[in-house]
């Protein structure tokens, strides 16, 4: 069980949810999955406070529209993100509200992390939201930025945000039981790497495969963990498809990968 408290008296967790988790590996956003996340937050909120970094805007839009364009594919994806983001937030808001949870939207770009004034504004805004029991739900501002669409599935965005707000723990919810050893994948009997400190050795265990719905993969998660290591923030990579994945991970009742950066 994770026990290291932050200054607020609660453990500050940044939960990063990939598209494959939100869709449960289908072509549509799962309201049941978002409800599951809300139920877990409700059950854990006495000891934990949560910030969510969520992908999925493009996947939501694809449920409603099919855009035709003679322009670049990236422009179509940006347009889909603009259409899908309000729908994604509505689904979060409706499901969380039924559980008595308050939500807020924050759209960020990587340029925001490069300017000192912007960094301070991010920290101040998120802290005020958390102090007033609003759960920040963050996504990249895909309409004006292309980084998430092209490269990272929000893993880097999650790491940068966690560093700014001094999170105690980052949970990256994906569609595997953490990171598997390369040998076990080769023989078709996947074995999860449970705990690791050496990120260099961990890089040797992964392949640069992309996820089916998202744009990330294990490489982008390792790169996020490297950013978090500099801030001494632990990273958990776990399977978010099943119900109660965070509670089960906290209770060590499921296999997942812990990348440890603090003295236990």
In the chain, what are the domain boundaries?
Answer: 11-259
CA gap 191, 29 in Å, rounded: 29
pLDDT of 7 reads: 57
Predicted pLDDT at 234: 96
Contact 130, 136 (CB under 8 A): yes
pLDDT along the chain (264 residues), means of 10: 68 95 92 97 98 93 80 78 93 97 93 92 97 95 58 81 97 94 87 90 71 58 93 96 97 96 58
Question: How high is the pLDDT of residue 6?
Answer: 54
Strands 234-239 and 257-259: antiparallel
Q: What was the pLDDT predicted at 10? A: 96
Instruction: Please provide the distance, in angstroms rounded to a whole number, between the alpha carbons at the two ends of the chain.
Output: 12
Q: Let me know: does 56 contact 17? Beta carbons within 8 Å.
A: yes
Distances (CA, A) of 216 to 24, 126, 224: 16, 25, 11
Q: How far is CA 227 from the centre of its chain?
A: 14
Q: What does residue 193 show for φ and ψ, rounded to 5 degrees?
A: -80, 110
Candidates 3.40.1160.10, 1.10.3210.10, 1.10.357.10, 3.90.650.10; CATH matching 11-259: 3.40.1160.10
The tally of CA atoms less than 13 A away on the side-chain side of residue 123 is 13
Place of tokens 């770009």: 109
């Amino acid at each position: 069980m994770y026990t290291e408290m932050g200054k607020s008296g609660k453990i500050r967790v940044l939960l990063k949810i990939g598209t494959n988790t939100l869709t449960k590996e289908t072509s549509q956003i799962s309201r049941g999955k978002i409800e599951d996340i809300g139920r877990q937050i409700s059950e854990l909120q006495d000891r934990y406070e949560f910030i969510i970094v969520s992908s999925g805007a493009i996947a939501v839009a694809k449920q409603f529209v099919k855009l035709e364009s003679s322009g670049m594919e990236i422009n179509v994806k940006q347009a889909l993100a603009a259409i899908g983001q309000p729908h994604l937030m509505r689904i979060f808001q409706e499901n969380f509200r039924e559980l008595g949870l308050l939500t807020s939207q924050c759209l960020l770009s990587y340029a925001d992390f490069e300017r000192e004034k912007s960094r301070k504004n991010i920290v101040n805004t998120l802290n005020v939201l958390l102090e007033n029991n609003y759960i920040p739900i963050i996504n990249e501002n895909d309409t004006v930025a292309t980084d998430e669409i092209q490269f990272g599935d929000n893993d880097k965005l999650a790491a940068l945000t966690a560093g700014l707000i001094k999170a105690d723990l980052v949970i990256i919810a994906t569609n595997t039981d953490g990171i598997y050893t390369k040998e076990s994948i080769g023989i078709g009997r996947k074995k999860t790497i449970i705990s690791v400190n050496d990120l260099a050795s961990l890089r040797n265990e992964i392949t640069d495969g992309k996820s089916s719905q998202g744009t990330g993969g294990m490489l982008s998660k390792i790169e996020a963990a490297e950013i978090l290591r500099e801030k001494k923030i632990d990273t958990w990579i776990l399977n978010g498809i099943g119900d109660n994945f965070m509670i089960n991970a906290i209770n060590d009742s499921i296999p997942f990968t812990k990348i440890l950066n603090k003295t236990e």
